[in-house]
Amino acid sequence: MPIDVMRARGDTPGCRHVLHLNNAGAALMPQPVLDALGHQLRLEAEMGGYEAAAAAADEIERVYDSVATLIGAHRDEVAIVENATRAWDMAFYSIAFAPGDRIVTSVAEYVSNFIPYLQMQRRVGLTIDVVPNDENGQLCVARLREMIDERVKLIAITHVPTNGGLVNPAAEVGRIARETGTLYLLDACQSVGQMPVDVVDIGCDMLSATSRKYLRGPRGVGFLYVRSAVLERLEPPLLDLRAATWTAPDRYSVRADARRFENWECNVAAKLGLGAAVDYALGWGLEAIWQRVGMLAELLRARLRELPGVDVMDLGRVRCGIVSFAVAEHEPRAIRHALAASRINVSVTERTSTLLDMDARRAAAFVRASVHYYNTTSEIERFCETLAGMIRR
């Protein structure tokens, strides 16, 4: 079933105010998400925060079912935390790295993943190996296979980078991880919500994602998936009264399920908002979302290529809803600023967010226009006309 775009826009108050092409930053929330947030906040105001959480206990539990359905996991394999970075950190810092271990990662790696690699390198003396890209600009699976040996403790890659349309071959990486018995952590922050993502198909052991990007949920919440078979092996770097129980003066026991990666105090309304966002996405269907996002992004790339001085920078064989480009003689920030005056939202992706990739391409920054299924072809035409007018001047 194709997306009913008019209904999608009707459900999205933001569509009446802005031309939003910053879905990779934070997408516009639909009404059911706003309703879930508002309802819980009102309950908290009227009956007290703890009492409101108790009243919503069943709905809170259902958020785990929704996330599990979205990614093909079991509910006990899901932890809901503050954001994708914290989710990723809880997985990464749970791994008992030892001197001489190797981490194998991607050129497209995100800053907040690579800094922990460097920190762990300083701490224990491990090696960070970056898999080169193939001729399409995606992670080279053949090279990855050659790089795996018994010293590789972790394969950690980014599915969709923050700085462009690339979709790395996550499932092919997963096959190598399974065959070689190597732990595999996938940063799926930009892919979850815009395309079908199934942890069994992909074959990852751990996966991190956020609420506010392509899932269209609220800010300040995200989730971690950890495969049940590896849960027991991973001791969280931080433990509190939710993750563990204090059983005797000198003893504690860690929870058996993925909630060992959570902490007690959280934004309950945001958690419910995430659940509503996941249910809303499932209502459209991830395949239908992916079809439309892909169509709009390709239209945008085609239109941008017609503009003088514009270079579309997206890499990869499969390209997603993130469209990054450079404009000759125009600073990306100036373009973002000028577009904002026409109530068009784009963002700028800087060198320091994906340093390996940007340095390989000798780039300082790109303009990033990221489409979602509620965008329209006429919005894309208007965006390109506005941009063309700015470039001409």
Ligand X SMILES: *Cc1c(COP(=O)(O)O)cnc(C)c1O
Site residue total, ligand X (CB under 6 A): 13
Least distance to ligand X, CB of residue 78, Å: 16
Segment lying near ligand X (by CB under 6 A), choices 78-86, 127-135, 310-318, 380-388: 78-86
* Spacing of C-alpha 142 from chain mean position: 25
Structure tokens at 293: 């996002």
Q: Which of 190, 197, 191, 192 is nearest to 162 (CA)?
A: 190
Which CB atom, from 84 or from 335, has the smaller least distance to ligand X? 84
Least distance to ligand X, CB of residue 145, Å: 24
**Residue 316 in the binding site for ligand X (CB under 6 A):** no
Q: Which amino acid is at 127?
A: T
CA distance 151 to 120: 15
For 205, the 3-state DSSP assignment is: coil
Residue from 187, 205, 279, 314 in contact with ligand X (CB under 6 A): 187
Residues 6+ apart with CB under 8 A from 123: 97
Residue from 12, 105, 158, 349 in contact with ligand X (CB under 6 A): 158
Which string of x and - marks every residue 93-112 that binds ligand X (by CB under 6 A)?
-----------------x-x
For 380, the 3-state DSSP assignment is: helix
Least distance to ligand X, CB of residue 149, Å: 27
Is residue 367 a contact partner of residue 325, using CB atoms and an 8 Å limit?
yes
Is residue 224 a contact partner of residue 261, using CB atoms and an 8 Å limit?
yes
Which CB atom, from 36 or from 84, has the smaller least distance to ligand X? 84
The tally of CA atoms less than 13 A away on the side-chain side of residue 293 is 32
* Spacing of C-alpha 276 from chain mean position: 17
Which string of x and - marks every residue 218-237 that binds ligand X (by CB under 6 A)?
----x---------------
**Residue 84 in the binding site for ligand X (CB under 6 A):** yes
165 φ, ψ (degrees, to nearest 5): -80, -5
Least distance to ligand X, CB of residue 139, Å: 14
Which string of x and - marks every residue 201-220 that binds ligand X (by CB under 6 A)?
---------x----------
CA distance 197 to 99: 34
Residue from 161, 165, 193, 321 in contact with ligand X (CB under 6 A): 161
**Residue 91 in the binding site for ligand X (CB under 6 A):** no
Structure tokens at 378: 């006429």
Least distance to ligand X, CB of residue 249, Å: 37
Q: Which of 99, 74, 87, 96 is nearest to 234 (CA)?
A: 96
**Residue 190 in the binding site for ligand X (CB under 6 A):** yes
Q: Which amino acid is at 104?
A: V
Residue from 189, 234, 258, 339 in contact with ligand X (CB under 6 A): 189
Which CB atom, from 110 or from 303, has the smaller least distance to ligand X? 110
Segment lying near ligand X (by CB under 6 A), choices 80-88, 177-185, 332-340, 363-371: 80-88
Residue from 12, 23, 83, 347 in contact with ligand X (CB under 6 A): 83
**What is the DSSP track for 47-80?**
H-HHHHHHHTHHHHHHHHHHHHHHHT--GGGEEE
**Residue 85 in the binding site for ligand X (CB under 6 A):** yes
For 278, the 3-state DSSP assignment is: helix
CA distance 388 to 386: 5
Segment lying near ligand X (by CB under 6 A), choices 40-48, 53-61, 156-164, 368-376: 156-164
Segment lying near ligand X (by CB under 6 A), choices 50-58, 158-166, 223-231, 246-254: 158-166
CA distance 254 to 242: 9
Q: Which residues bind ligand X (CB under 6 A)?
A: 83-85, 110, 112, 158, 161-162, 187, 189-190, 210, 222
